[in-house]
Structure 1
Amino acid sequence: MDMAINFFYKTKIEEAEDNKIIPQYKFEIHPFDKVQGLVGQIKNLIDVVGMVTSVGRLEKRTNGAEKLDVALTDSRNPRNRATSIPPAFIISVQVQALQELYNLDSAPTCSVPSSFLVHLAASCSIPSARSLSLISRLGASFLSWNEKMIVTLWEDRAYQFQASLQNTGQSPIFVVITGLLAKKFSDKPSLSSTDATRTYFDIDYKPLKDLKNALHEASAKAGVGLLPPTNVQFVTADEKSVQQLHIKDVLDIEIPPEKDQVRGLCMATITEIMEGNGWLYNCCSKCARAVHPTEEKYFCVACNDDNITVSQRYRVVARIKDDTGTTTVTLFNKEAEQLIGAPIQRLINELTEGTNMEEIPPAVKNIVGKLCAFQIKINNYNITNGCEEYTVTRVSECSNAEAGGSDTVNAGHKDKRVRLE
């Protein structure tokens, strides 16, 4: 039952001694694994606690609104705690993995410091799938906080977060973020700010202190330190799976046998919009799958329906270039709209009668010359069929100054510390 306190004309208010009965902070904290079940619900807002692991760049949408993505980790869920793994098992797995990695016949006779194992797990770069699997196992004992939550902060909430972050210094950041709504992005749950959203940095709040103590204790046992948040181009649930690549690397890449695709982050300049590929496609307005007319009717195979509403979406194939080579990428609706700066329906409405719809409009050609960060998807079809046109999953326009510092996402932390994720 909802309750309220009403103040009337004759209401008297007297200051009382603070006896600590009323807590300074009162939040309804939700664990990350419960967010999935709250997607689409708008009645109750969500509060979360976490350590900030990475912060993205301010991104402007086509409606002018700016957003900031922030990744949080929370180890208070017992199934995510590294301390739940028996130490003897941890050492056994680490030694076994080292034997396999270096083809040793027996376990090393000398003791191997855990800090070395952490550094090895974090820094080794060996291209084979087997080696990557072993490296993953080396760090599994204390890099087990792999369940993240991405929080998207909009407009003022984003600006306030950035301003507060600048005052925290180079130390781990622990926050409570309140008043959030659960959304779904790329089939994964995420959180989005509302007008009620507030962010509290390192406050005296028990769940936040418990999280901080748990992470510090686990990192101390592992012989490593917790890192401050990293600044990344795009915040993703699994940032380690997104490789920083030059175009030559993209063209030469091999997909590990156990995967059907890999993702890469590539900084390049758009040099051309490919003629002959068009710039839009007709799709089912319900599922966004491409549809083609059959006997003057459109049939959607995905929906198994011939009574559909047809709409148009962007499909722009662009040639991009960096210092190592050139390739082509495909920008679909949201990413193309972000660079073009206008929804597709506006461009269609501006076309004069009789215009050839295959001809690239000037507004689309205007993206030539833009320096962008492209997060691309590379799959077996691209490689086996020699078809580039890698699908762009995220894009952000960059300045030339940013290009100079884009060689690595986390170049500033080349010490023996490692983030617990």
Structure 2
Amino acid sequence: LVARETGLPSAAPLLKSYAKVEPVTIAELNSFITTDPPQQEINFLCTGRVSRVEANKGWCYVACSKCSKKLQRTVTSFECARCSNPHAVGSLRYRVEMVVTDDTAEGTFVCFDGVMTKLHNLRASEAAQLLAEEGVNPEDSVMPPFVAGMEGKTYTFQVRVKSYNFTVNHQTFTVSRIINEVEGAPAPDFFDDGGDDNDDDDAPNGTI
């Protein structure tokens, strides 16, 4: 993460007192999570420009239909380590990582299946069919243009933060809702996150 000098006080006391979701800058978010990681989930709003969609991190994964975690491919089937199921049923889900910036700092945000499906009105499996290449697994296929096209656009994100979000090897924030491209300061009318993705740990298999 890259933070700029803003002269702002630590956001920790501010965020601790939030009884509802309120806006913060990315610098305030970074300050809060690095100096005083939350012991419980906290949600906040953050408006920023998508400066880069991380195409090298992929755009989807094959998830266990039971627990939503990433499945491991074997020669003839999919295996779910969490469910201890060597013949798990899989479904394709979005996972899109992007760098978001505002006037104060930048941070890495992760959008999962419910958020992306409702924003673009297209399921990951449907997108994969449109981009199907012979002999290429869906999760290895090229990123859909509408996902790559988020780069350069400004959104208001509702982000949930837990202590897991910031460790030495893990520095991303999970997006739970998105307002479409910002053109001023509209009253929030959120795209819901789809409810039960079970992606609180920011990673399909919890090990990114």
TM-score between both structures, scaled by the size of structure 2 = 0.70
Match in the other structure for 2:96: 316
Q: When you count helix as a share of all residues, which structure comes out higher?
A: 1
Match in the other structure for 1:279: 59
The alignment partner of 2:27 has SS state of helix
| Correspondence 1:250 to 2:136 | no
Match in the other structure for 1:395: 178
Q: Do 2:131 and 2:141's aligned partners in 1 also have CA atoms closer than 8 Å?
A: no
Q: Do 2:38 and 2:162's aligned partners in 1 also have CA atoms closer than 8 Å?
A: no
Q: Please state how far the C-alpha of 1:263 moved relative to its aligned partner.
A: 2.2
| Correspondence 1:351 to 2:134 | no
Q: Please state how far the C-alpha of 1:243 moved relative to its aligned partner.
A: 4.0
Q: Distance in 2 between matches of 1:328 and 1:347?
A: 24
Q: Using a 3 Å threshold, how does the CA distance of structure 1 residues 311 and 338 change in structure 2: closer, same or farther?
A: same
Q: Do 2:71 and 2:80's aligned partners in 1 also have CA atoms closer than 8 Å?
A: yes
Whichever residue aligns with residue 45 of structure 2, its letter is: L
Residue from 159, 179, 182 that aligns with 1:376: 159
Q: Please state how far the C-alpha of 1:128 moved relative to its aligned partner.
A: 8.7
The alignment partner of 1:286 has SS state of coil
Q: Distance in 1 between matches of 2:66 and 2:161?
A: 27
Q: Please state how far the C-alpha of 1:343 moved relative to its aligned partner.
A: 1.4
Q: Using a 3 Å threshold, how does the CA distance of structure 1 residues 307 and 126 change in structure 2: closer, same or farther?
A: closer
C-alpha deviations, 1:314-333, integer Å up to 9, x for none?
00001111111211100000
Q: Distance in 1 between matches of 2:185 and 2:71?
A: 40
Whichever residue aligns with residue 240 of structure 1, its letter is: A
TM-score between both structures, scaled by the size of structure 1 = 0.37
Q: Do 1:340 and 1:367's aligned partners in 2 also have CA atoms closer than 8 Å?
A: no
The alignment partner of 2:69 has SS state of coil
Q: Do 2:38 and 2:161's aligned partners in 1 also have CA atoms closer than 8 Å?
A: no
Match in the other structure for 2:6: none
Match in the other structure for 1:418: none
* Structure whose CA Rg is larger: 1
Match in the other structure for 2:13: 127
- Unpaired runs of 5+ residues, structure 2, are 1-10, 189-208
Q: Do 1:335 and 1:393's aligned partners in 2 also have CA atoms closer than 8 Å?
A: yes
Q: Do 1:272 and 1:368's aligned partners in 2 also have CA atoms closer than 8 Å?
A: yes
Q: Please state how far the C-alpha of 1:266 moved relative to its aligned partner.
A: 0.4
Residue from 1, 19, 43 that aligns with 1:263: 43
Which structure is higher in RCO with an 8 Å CA cutoff and minimum separation 6?
Answer: 2
Q: Do 1:246 and 1:267's aligned partners in 2 also have CA atoms closer than 8 Å?
A: yes
Q: Distance in 2 between matches of 1:288 and 1:267?
A: 28
Residue from 326, 329, 334 that aligns with 2:106: 326
Q: Using a 3 Å threshold, how does the CA distance of structure 1 residues 378 and 386 change in structure 2: closer, same or farther?
A: farther
The alignment partner of 1:368 has SS state of coil
Q: Please state how far the C-alpha of 1:349 moved relative to its aligned partner.
A: 0.9
Q: Do 1:241 and 1:262's aligned partners in 2 also have CA atoms closer than 8 Å?
A: no
Match in the other structure for 1:335: 115
Residue from 78, 92, 97 that aligns with 1:298: 78
Q: Do 1:329 and 1:388's aligned partners in 2 also have CA atoms closer than 8 Å?
A: no
C-alpha deviations, 1:325-365, integer Å up to 9, x for none?
21110000011123333211221111242357243221211
Instruction: Tell me the percent identity.
Output: 25
Whichever residue aligns with residue 362 of structure 1, its letter is: P
Q: Using a 3 Å threshold, how does the CA distance of structure 1 residues 353 and 380 change in structure 2: closer, same or farther?
A: same
Q: Distance in 1 between matches of 2:61 and 2:165?
A: 21
Q: Distance in 1 between matches of 2:19 and 2:48?
A: 21
The alignment partner of 2:171 has SS state of coil
